[in-house]
Amino acid sequence: MAAEGDYESVLCVKAEVNVYRIPPRASNRAYRAADWKLDCPDWSGRMRITARAKMAFIKLEDKVSGELFAQAPVQEYPGVAVETVSDSSRYFVLRIRDDNGRSAFIGVGFADRGDAFDFNVALQDHFKWVKQENELKKSAQLRDSGPKLDLGFKEGQTITLNIGGKKRDKPRPHGPGGLGVLPPPPWRQDSPPLLHQAYPVTTQFPRRELDSTNSNSVFQSNPSSDLWGDFTAPASSVPPPSRLQNSTNWIQF
């Protein structure tokens, strides 16, 4: 029985449903809608599915007055209260029950396949929620029954906190003299070039010989030497050997 604080919610409403009187089941085989008189339903009206706590109720009511024709309480789905048939997805078998506790099995069918789909999904969603609620309740009970972690202080137990300690600065690197001098920056490609050391330069020019037969003094290259040859300097311009040995930084012509 539902508690006093429980309320009834509506899960699904279908305006057209047909009810059939079905023959008793002769064996354990599934119901077949072909065994019913589908062209002559025994009753037609409205179906309303409600839920109160974890229980669902399938109510068959009159379209105009809303008077209750039959009611099928459902504790689980799929189950005995609602069964499907083997030859159609639009027909179901309901176990109805009156206030005196008497029960009977009837067949219900929908003209539209979409109405049958909504009927099926409404029951599945409700009992999926019921299953989740049961699992949460079990996990809460296991958590409460387990040993609890005591984080409180025992009698006479104390702790020490060090608050407001002096922050120590990190030591800075010192130079060779003990001062905090930063090292020079590394050399980069855009830095000015370094001065190069001057070295003595010795240059020799190619020699040419004068052609005595040519009045214009045309120079002819020596075929046995390189392309230009060595120029011969006049004897008066050649410094003495001792002077050349003492001065190695002069350029020789």
Residues 205-239 pLDDT 10s = 555 554 544 444 444 445 555 555 554 555 544 55
Note whether residue 63 is domain-resident. yes
**Residue at 47 is within a domain:** yes
Q: How many Cα atoms occupy the beta-carbon half-sphere of 68 within 13 Å?
A: 11
In a domain, 37, yes or no: yes
pLDDT grade for 1, boundaries at 50, 70 and 90: very low
Nearest one of 20, 35, 31, 47 to 84, comparing CA atoms: 31
Give the per-residue pLDDT at 89: 94
Average pLDDT, the chain: 77
162 or 105, which is more confident: 105
Torsions phi, psi for 141 (to 5 deg): -65, -40
pLDDT of residue 193: 58
**Which residues lie closer than 8 Å to 7 by C-beta, 6 or more apart?**
52
Structural domain including 92 reads: 8-140
Task: From residue 111, give the alpha-carbon distance in Å to each of 8, 117, 242.
Answer: 28, 12, 133
CA contacts within 13 A on the Cβ side of 207: 10
Beta bridge partners of 60: 47, 70
pLDDT of residue 221: 47
Q: Residue 42: give its domain's CATH number.
A: 2.30.29.30
Contact predicate 41/19, CB 8 Å: yes
Residue 207 CA to residue 225 CA, distance in Å, equals: 9
pLDDT for 191 = 58
Q: Quick check: 48 and 13 in contact, CB under 8 A?
A: yes
User: Side chain identity at 93, as an amino acid letter?
Assistant: V
DSSP-derived secondary structure letter, 97: E
**For the chain, what is the domain count?**
1
Q: Judge whether residue 244 has pLDDT over 50.
A: no
Q: CB neighbours (10 Å) of residue 210?
A: 11
Contacts (Cβ under 8 Å, ≥6 apart) of 13: 46, 47, 48, 49
Q: Is residue 158 part of a domain?
A: no
Q: How do residues 146-205 score in pLDDT, each as one tens digit?
A: 666 677 777 878 888 777 766 666 666 555 555 556 666 666 666 565 554 445 555 555
At residue 182, the pLDDT reads 67
The pLDDT assigned to 76 comes to 92
Residue 168 lies in a domain: no
**Residue 243 domain-assigned?**
no
* pLDDT level of residue 66 (50, 70, 90 thresholds): very high
Residue 111 within a domain: yes
pLDDT at 253 over 50: no
Give domain status of residue 30, yes or no. yes
Q: Phi/psi of residue 13, each to 5°?
A: -135, 130
Q: d(Cα 27, Cα 161) in Å, to the nearest integer?
A: 80
Write out pLDDT tens, residues 74-97: 999 989 999 999 999 999 999 999
pTM, full prediction: 0.56
pLDDT bin (cut points 50, 70, 90) of residue 129 is very high
